[in-house]
Structure 1
Amino acid sequence: MFLAYSRRLSGKVRSASANAELAYFLSFVAGAINAGGFLAINQYTSHMSGIVSQMSDMAILGEFSMVLWCLGAVMAFMAGSATTAIIINFARHCYLQSEYALPIFIEACALIFFGLLDGIQWDYSWLWTSLTVATLCYIMGLQNAITTDISQYKLRSTHVTGTVTDIGMELGKMFYWNRASKKDPTIQPVQSDYKKFKLLVKVLILFFIGGLVGAYGFKTWGFMFTCMMASILVYLSAGPLIDDIKTILFALNQPPVVLEQPATIATLLNEPTTAEIAEAEELSTIETEEVLRTEEDHADEIMPTAEPQKVSE
């Protein structure tokens, strides 16, 4: 039962309800990391809009060190998304069950690494800040790509700009009066997707609740709070990962297949080898000589020696 729910959330076989529940968990974790990370490093890392705008401002003000800092954050976010894409496609081609669980597990490991950074004291504070920001941006990109792939580019979990936009569009459809469709039956009435609306609202609320929990957690326990968030991600990925590990171990423990003769390219292609060709030619020569010898003996038996004729006197 414990692992069954994990398999349902992050397993290869997907359903609409499982996609929604996984989005709820990831949105909660993203809100906690984003809000808590702000208290830790005074920087939001879930959305790239503000970071790119900050990079533009710093370029105009001549703060080129900050431009490089923002550029590194953007590149880290892109690296996280690329990592998810590579893992998902590799797992699909290898027929693994953990195509979504493995990126979630890597996110948990990155969170633990982020928590361990608090215990590292460096003489160069800017390097420590840059590494922590890059780690958080990498985590955000990693998770955002997971939700994007599962929802077929319809949902994001690490920032709520698109979520709020979609909620506003669904509200607009709800309050639309459809006068034109009443006058002209050929015009399709405007209808709101109520299921999508509920999903978006829940994602927004859970992101906000996660922010409250993350802010309180970082304020109370500091960087160690990341271990609590990482434990949630480890649970989400546990079921499919354990299934793949069992499958791999079972395949490794199977006895090797021993062939009676060493397989060569010729035998695999069902083609005769050089030795087989030489043996066949030798047998053909022997058979040909035997046939010729038999024909000569048979000819001697059929045609006896002719007696000389007597000359008449």
Structure 2
Amino acid sequence: MPILYLRKLTGKRRSPHANRHLAGYLCFVAGAINAGGFLAVQQYTSHMSGVVSAMADNLALGSFALALDGVGALLSFLGGAACSAVLVNWGRRERLHSEYALPLALEAGLLLCFGLIGGNLGQHQWLFVPATVMLLCFIMGLQNAMITKLSNAEIRTTHLTGMVTDIGIELGKLCYWNAAAPARTPSRTQARPLPRVLANRRKLRLLVVLVTLFFAGGVAGALGFKHLGFSATLPLAALLLALIAVPLTDDLRSRWRTGSLPRLAARMRQRVQAGALRRRR
């Protein structure tokens, strides 16, 4: 990928074109995580409406342990969204080029760790399933909040209910027959003629592409988990790291030139040395 393209894709200067492209990548990743996660723990983790409905069902049936698992999943999604907002706002206060890349960096790190150690945790099923559900819900909340904040709440990437609804609305407007109004005698009290009903074809194309990419990601994630196991998350982490590499590198270079990184490294060394001295005493 060209450097300029990647800088625009996840940098702080946004454009509708960059937002659409980034949403496509993230829809693919979300679909892969959601489908692969289902094969791992038999539960989808990207949409909270199903989680809340399952909580209500389990509570009514007396399955309190499963209801508590749902509470954990809901709080994890909520925590991921809150964490994303904190990272974006902190990056904005620090005037970082990577203010929107920071949540994706955390998401990539979590996927990387999950892919590397997930197979070893499978032996502890009592801990593995709830922890995996909470981790994947946290990741979904993290990603969805980032793209929501980036696009001013115009785009979502982790669930399709809103997108499919918008597709239906645009299709309804596309099929609407704008018949000519019958001729009437004009009068001062007569209302102005209503505007023609027209579909937003660009929005319709974008939504169809995003839903298709989510589906393609789901197929890729399911096949990847089937053949590779937990290592299937490693390519997803690599893709996210590739998307955010340029703005993160820009920040590291600018901080190094201004001396921020050397001062931070010196402070960290001083703290480590002070801690070592205290332990010796």
Normalized against structure 2, the TM-score is what?
A: 0.86
Q: Determine the C-alpha separation between the residues in 1 that align with 2:262 and 2:122.
A: 52
Alpha carbons of structure 1 residues 254 and 42: separation in structure 2 relative to 1, 3 Å = closer
Q: Larger deviation: 110-119 or 17-26? A: 110-119
Offset, 1:253: 7.0
Q: Deviations over 1:247-290 (max 9, x none)?
A: 1111117999xxxxxxxxxxxxxxxxxxxxxxxxxxxxxxxxxx
Partner residue of 1:303? none
Query: Is the 8 Å Cα contact of residues 32 and 215 (structure 1) preserved in structure 2?
Result: yes
Q: 1:213 corresponds to which residue? A: 220
Q: Which stretch of the first structure deviates more once superposed, 145-154 or 135-144?
A: 145-154
Q: Tell me by how many angstroms 1:151 deviates.
A: 1.9
Q: Which residue, out of 220, 229, 237, partners 2:236?
A: 229
**Cα distance, 1:115 vs. partner?**
1.5
Measure how far apart 1:174 and its partner are: 0.6
State the AA in 1 paired with 2:63.
E
Report how far residue 186 of structure 1 moved.
2.3
- Alpha-carbon distance in 2 for matches of 1:182, 1:83: 57
Distance in 1, matches of 2:116 and 2:136, equals 13
Aligned counterpart in structure 2 of residue 191 of structure 1, from 182, 193, 198: 198
> Percent identity, aligned pairs only?
48
Cα distance in 2 between the residues matched to 1:254 and 1:110: 24
Would the alpha carbon gap of residues 35 and 123 (structure 1) be closer, same or farther in structure 2, given more than 3 Å must change? closer
Structure 1, residues 4-26: CA drift from partner, whole Å, max 9, x if none? 22111101111111110000000
C-alpha contact 2:171 2:199 (8 A) present in aligned 1: yes
Amino acid at match of 1:208: F
Q: Name the amino acid aligned to 1:206.
A: L
Secondary structure of 2:45's aligned partner: coil
SS at match of 1:179: coil
1:160 and 1:204 in contact (8 A); partners too: yes
- Whether contact under 8 Å (2:11, 2:98) holds in the other structure is yes
Aligned residue for 1:24? 24
How many angstroms does 1:104 deviate by?
Answer: 0.8
5+ long unaligned stretches in structure 2: 184-190, 264-281
Q: How does 1:206-285 map to 2 (within 5 A)?
A: 206-252=213-259
Per mean C-alpha deviation after superposition, the further-off stretch among 170-179 and 195-204 is 170-179
Larger radius of gyration: 1
Query: After the TM superposition, which segments of 4 or more aligned residues of structure 1 sit over 4 Å from their partners?
Result: 180-185, 253-256
Residues matched between the structures, number: 256
AA of the residue aligned to 2:119? G
Aligned twin of 1:280: none
Q: What runs of 5+ residues in structure 1 fail to find an aligned partner?
A: 257-313
Cα distance in 2, alignment partners of residues 39 and 12 from structure 1: 36
Cα distance 1:159–1:35, how it changes in 2: closer, same or farther (>3 A)? same
